[in-house]
Structure formats: C-alpha cells, structure tokens
Chain A
Amino acid sequence: MSFVNRIRFYRQVWIIGRAGLRWQRWRAQTYAKSAVHRQSQYLAPPLDITPKTKELIARHYLEGRWANLARKVAWVTSGAPVEMLKALDFYVLYPENHGALCGTARAVVDISSEAESAGYSRDICSYARTDIGTMLSGKTPVGRLPRPDLLLACTNICQTVLFWYRILAHHFQVPLVIIDTPFVYSKAERHTIGYVEKQLEDAIPILEKIAGKSLSLKRLKKVMEMSKKATQLWAEVIGKATHQPSPISVFDQFIHMAPIVEMRGDPFTIDFYATMLDEVDRRIANGIGAVLDEKKRLLWDNLPVWPKLRSLAEKLGEHGLALVASTYTSAWGDLGPLMNPDKPLESTALTYLHPILNQGTGHKLETMTHMIEKFHLDGAILHSDRSCKPYSIGQMDQKERLIRTYGIPALLLEADHDDPRSFSDEHVSHQLNAFIEMLED
C-alpha cells in the first residue's frame, strides 16, 4: 500500500466521494420535504434519517470500492466477531449485506444466474449464489467489491456460510479463519465456551499478520464499548415499537439495520442510532404511527423478503396492519448485554454463541411469545425462507403453538429472502388475503 495509493484512496473516498454523497443526502432531504406525490396513502413518510442511512451505506461501499488501495480487507459473515477486525483497522465487507442490497436493487436474478451457470444449484442459499455470482462475474450494483485479504466465517448463523466461505477461499486463495460456534440446543456448556474462546485466541496472530500490526487490547476494548453502545441503542430504537401506534415498523427496521450489522464498532454508528432514537421519540410525542391507521399489530419471523419490502409494506398498511416486532432485527439488539469489554475474549465467545439462529427452536418460540406480550401483538407472519433452512425449520410447529397456545392467527408465508423467482405475487397475495380476513374477524 504505497503512499500514492493512500493519496488516491483519500482523494476518491474522503474528498470526492464523501462530498458527493453529502450532496446527494442534502438533495434527498430537500426533495423528501416536497415529495408529497411519492408518499403512501397508508404508511407514514419515510423516517427523516433515511437519506443518512443511504449515505452511510453508499459511503461504506464507496470506501470498499477503493479499499484495496489503502487498507486490508476482510469479508465476514453477519454474525462474525467483527470487533477484533475493526480494532486492527480492517475494512470489513459483509457479503450477506451485499446480497440484501442486490435484492433491494432487483439484481439478484442476473447476478446469481452467473453462479448457476457455473454449476451452483438454485437449491443453495440465494445470498451465497448472489455473492458467488459477483465473485465470478464482478457484477454488482455498487460498482466494485474489494478483493479480500482475509475471510472470516462464523458458523453461528448457519452452516451454509462455512461451505460458502470455503468456495470464496478457494477462489481468492486467501486465508480463511473459521470461528466454529457449536449450536446451543439448550445451554452452552463450559467446554463449548472454552472452544470458541480458544479459536478467537488462535485467530489473533493470523489477523495480526495480515493486518501488519499488533492487536491493541485498549483499542479492542474501545471498539467493543462502541459495539455494545450501538447494539443497546438499536435495541432501544426497536423497543419503541411497543408504543401504540408504533412509530416504526419492521420494514423501517429492515431498512435501517445496515449500520448495526456492518458498522457496529464505529463511532458514527452510535451517533446514527442516537439520532434515530430522537426521531422515533418525536414521532411518539406527535402520535405518528408507521402505519397511518394502525388497527392490528404483527410479528415478523425470519429474514425479510428484500425484493418485496415495499409491496409487502403497502399491502399490509392498506389494511391497517403494522409489523412492529421481528425476531430477526432484534437479534442484533440481543448481542449488547453479553458484551463485556473488560473480558474481551470470553465475552466475545459468549456473545457470538448466542444469536437467535444459534439457539434451539424452543428458544425462538419463547422469543416470539415474549414479543407477543411485550409488543401487544395480534398475529404473526412467519416467513418460510427457502434459502434459510436453520431459521425456517421448526416454523410449522411454532406456528401451531402460537395459534393453539396464544390463540393468535399466524401465517406461514412461503418466499425467499433474496430470489424473487421463489416469490409468487399471486400466491402470497392469496395467503395474505386469507390471513387478513382471519385477523379482521
């Protein structure tokens, strides 16, 4: 990374890029105030912070585009213990988030077809297919992804990432660090926590070698503090949905969760969620609901259907249905309480062993039932996500339990988090209509 390259990076990202993005945000904010014609009949206008979210995401990918000039790059899974990487100044890219971005940009079919043409089955996760498609073709709506110097896969969200990152490692011929987090069926045993902690310890010299610097404990603690603070703020933001009407919907949460996933540990993420919290509080004070005429409140289980966010929000909003709680978005809020900057490795092991996806189906059912009470829910939509087996398996019984034990209507919605080919508008519309009738009875 020569001096000239650093200068180029600084010029492209910090001078030209950031100025351009700030200008775009300013325009979006100004335009939003006069864009009455774009507003929904059923939904509140987007949060004022939306242009800032877009700016952060765009800035993240802009920096990524030029990152190889000035920084070491790590590609990581969404549940990876990213704090160590941040403390070593890696630029961190999340292929899953990139997949989600491709989903919202309606680019998945084109990109994943590249992977399918190379022999990757349509039965594998659509995030993975999209990422592999980008890897093989370079196609991406963000211009260009940086080449990784390191891959870090943590199995706490699924085993899929393990196979997926094996493919990436084979292609890029770079070191792959695997943090293997045994599934917590009921309780994490002492030897399990020790196993993960030791892997974190073993990973440090590999990370340091690639970063070309030593991991400073002081810096790690600082990053962990910032991560913890950001996750706490995120938990507070989504907790505000207990208010009636709810100031934010789960769709808002899906849109504004990018910083907590890919920018936790950064100082600006704290500022971002503090600002968002203020705005949400203002909405509460002014009695503004995310759904203008909130009649019923619902739970969402599993990942979003990224290519269909807007149409689903409109469809539900039309009937006064507000999605206010989600097992998925709350997962990042759950991380905070386990993080202890004074015990960096042990608490990292504990934290990253306990995402909802690494815990049993009974725990997820408990989470849902807890949310039903906390958020005063009237029904639940369980997204049966063809691409995410670990999240989806158990839903058929969970749905039955919700209906039988809690007497609330529940729907199993067949779709996919990224691939619109696994989403039938007509079928979903029929399913939703029947569910809405049930709720209205």
Chain B
Amino acid sequence: MQDSLSIPSRTEIIAQHRQSGKQVAAILPYHSPRPVFTCFDILPVEVWGPPRVDSSHGSAHLQPYICSLVRNALSFLLTGGLDEADFIIAPHGCDSLQGLGSILMDLIPSHQKVLPFYIPRGDQENAADFLAAEIQSLYDSIKDITGQTPDLETILKSIAQHQDADQLIAQLHKSRQNIPLTQLEFYRLLRSREYLPPSAFSELAEKALALDTNKSRNKGIPILLSGIVPEPMAVLEGLSQLGALVVADDLACCGRRIYPPITHDNVFMAMAKSILSAPPDSTRGSSVEARTQHLLDLTKTSGAMGVIFLEIKFCEPELFYLPIQRQALKKAGIPSLVLEVEINDSFTHQLRTRIEAFLEMIA
C-alpha cells in the first residue's frame, strides 16, 4: 500500500484510545448508531467475526449450524479478544446474532456490560419513531453507566463527524475505479471505517480520493460482489489475480451501509432515519423487490458483467433472497455465482477454480 495511505490496525487504534483513558465499545454487526458512542468519547469498534480465530471456543456453546461470523465473535470474546472493550453492543441483526446477544446477557458472563439494540424490520410506518426511541434508550444506558451527559452540541458534532465519514464512504464507492489502490487495499480502507474514529477515517479517505487517478491500474472483468462480509479477504487478491475487478458491492459491511446524511430537530431521529435510509438489506428484512432492483441498478451503473454472491454458510437472511435475485439477474443477462464460505477459510483452490470458470464464462 502507498505510504501516504498507511492504515493503522485495530489493535493500534484501540491501544491509542485506551492510553488516553477513554473507553471502547465492541459492536457486533450490522447497523448501529455510531455517533452515540463517539459523543461519549467511546471508540466504536465493530467485530465482524473476526476471521482466523480458534473457533473451537465458540463451538463449546453454539451448535454446528450457527454461522462462523457468530461463532468467531464468541470465540474471540472467550479468548480475550474483546478484553479491551468496556461495552459489548449487540444490535439485532438476525436470529443467530439475537441468540449471541442473549446468551452473552444471560448464560455466558463477560466482564463487559452487554447492551442489546433492536433494528426494526419491514418498513413499518413507525419504524423511525421506534428506532429513535431505541437509540435514545441506548444513549440513556450509556449515560447511566458512564455518569456523563454529553450536551446537544457534542451530540451534533459527533453526528456531523460521522456524516462526513459516511459521505466520504459514498464517494469512495463511486470513485473506486479511479483510485490507484489494489482491491485488497481499497477494501481495507473501506473497512477501516469499522474501527477508526470518524475524523481519522475522513482524513484517510480524503487522501485516497486525492491520489493521482492516472496511476490507477484498476482494469479487469467488472464484477459486483454481494454478501455479508468480504472474508476471506484473500478472495479480493484472488479476484485481482484472476483478472476480475470489483466495480460495486452489495456487502452488508460495506455497500449496504452507505448512510445518507439526515437533518432533523431530534438528534436520535436523525440517526434513526439515516440508518433506515441505507440501501436495501437482508438483515433489515427489505423486500425481495427492493433488494433485487438495487442489485440490478448497481450492475447497470457500475457496468458489472457478473455478480458473485460470497455467502457465509448458514446465513439464512441471505439464503432466502438468492434464488429470486439470481433469476432476475439472469433475466437481465447478468450471470451470477454463489460461493459459500466460512470466514476462517483460506482462498482455497476450489474457490479459485470456480471463480476462474465463472470469469471465463462472462469475459
């Protein structure tokens, strides 16, 4: 990666934050009101797995049909990976994440306070009201625990910082083909939003957007990547080696979290509406039509010639939509490929062969 864009690791950022006497919140997938934490000077660090942990610790508590993202998160917690965190935030993303939040609260004691958080499903008319109340409830819980009461100005500043970061995320997605970074570097940059303070991320994103676009070597067979998380990340390198270029994504950790800036008199409502205005998402129970149309639109605007669904095994929210999405893509002349992976997997020869065959077909 270019020197000007050296991205600090999660460990470094957490250590820096802790050294200054501040608190850290470990946040499980998928959506959360990040400004709430920042306004308390708490660093929100998202936990998407992580990959490459000894999952046997989680397996002592979870059945084999629970996905590797949830299993790894529990394993990571049990092996001390979240020891630096003061809070664990458990947003309700799916049945398995709901279960993880619940067993952390009831059955597997951890030294951190576990705070659940419900994201409404199904485009209800009063969803924003409910979500705003949920966010306020989360805010009140943190206020009670920390004894701090951030004033309105602090909250607004925090929202503004995150909105800047979110807008830069949107710009990065839009300009991805002109940014002279490899696909792996680009996704590392995008995913640094999961743990960097918003201002630090914005600084980094602006640098990336200012890089010399003439140096961009991003060429290849244009594809769209869909799924929850681009793990194993080696897939991105593999795609480059095989001549594919990810021109757009519909990933739960990336493209489905392009939150638009919302202004509202009520700060909690502003955060709620922003989350609910993100692109359609299985974990929020969006309609099949909305998700399918979003995919078709993405392929059209990005020029993607094919779609790769990189799915985590046992991920029910994703699995339900696949047949109809693939059918619609086929009808639109866009071939698709489904790859089922565990997040601890390496980029196996089998994956490589399947992607190679797919690219040969669409090229």
Interface residues of A (CB under 8 A from B): 118-121, 123-125, 128, 155, 158-160, 162-164, 166-167, 169-170, 178, 180, 182-183, 185-186, 189, 191-192, 194-195, 198-199, 202, 360-363, 365, 384, 386, 389-390, 392-398, 401
Contacts and interface: CB of A to CB of B under 8 A. Distances in A.
Contacts of B61: 396-397
Contacts, number: 159
Contacts of A189: 133, 137
Interface of B: 60-63, 65-66, 92, 94-96, 98-103, 105-108, 116, 118, 120-127, 129-130, 133-134, 137, 282, 285, 287-289, 313-314, 316-317, 319-324, 326-327
Is chain A's binding surface mostly helix, strand, loop or mixed? helix
A192 B130 contact: yes
B228 to A, nearest CB: 14
B60 A183 contact: no
Q: Name the 8 nearest CB pairs between A and B, nearest first.
A: A393-B99, A362-B106, A119-B323, A178-B122, A163-B320, A191-B133, A195-B130, A397-B107
A159 B106 contact: no
Is chain B's binding surface mostly helix, strand, loop or mixed? helix
Contacts of A125: 316
A155 B121 contact: yes
Given A120-B323, A185-B116, 7 more contacts: A119-B322, A121-B322, A167-B288, A199-B126, A360-B106, A393-B99, A393-B103
Given A389-B316, A396-B61, A361 B126 contact: no
A365 B107 CA distance: 9
14 contacts: A118-B323, A163-B316, A166-B285, A167-B324, A178-B121, A178-B122, A180-B120, A183-B92, A189-B137, A191-B133, A199-B124, A361-B102, A362-B106, A396-B63
B320 A183 contact: no
A202 B126 contact: yes
A185 B120 contact: no
B308 to A, nearest CB: 16
B120 A182 contact: yes
Given A195-B129, A195-B130, A397-B107, A159 B99 contact: no
A182 B107 contact: no
A254 B125 CA distance: 38
Given A160-B316, A183-B116, A166 B103 contact: no
B121 A160 contact: no
Nearest to B292: A170
A191 B120 CA distance: 12
A183 B95 CA distance: 10
Nearest to B99: A393
Contacts of B313: 123
Nearest to B100: A393
Contact of A362 (B107, B121, B322): B107
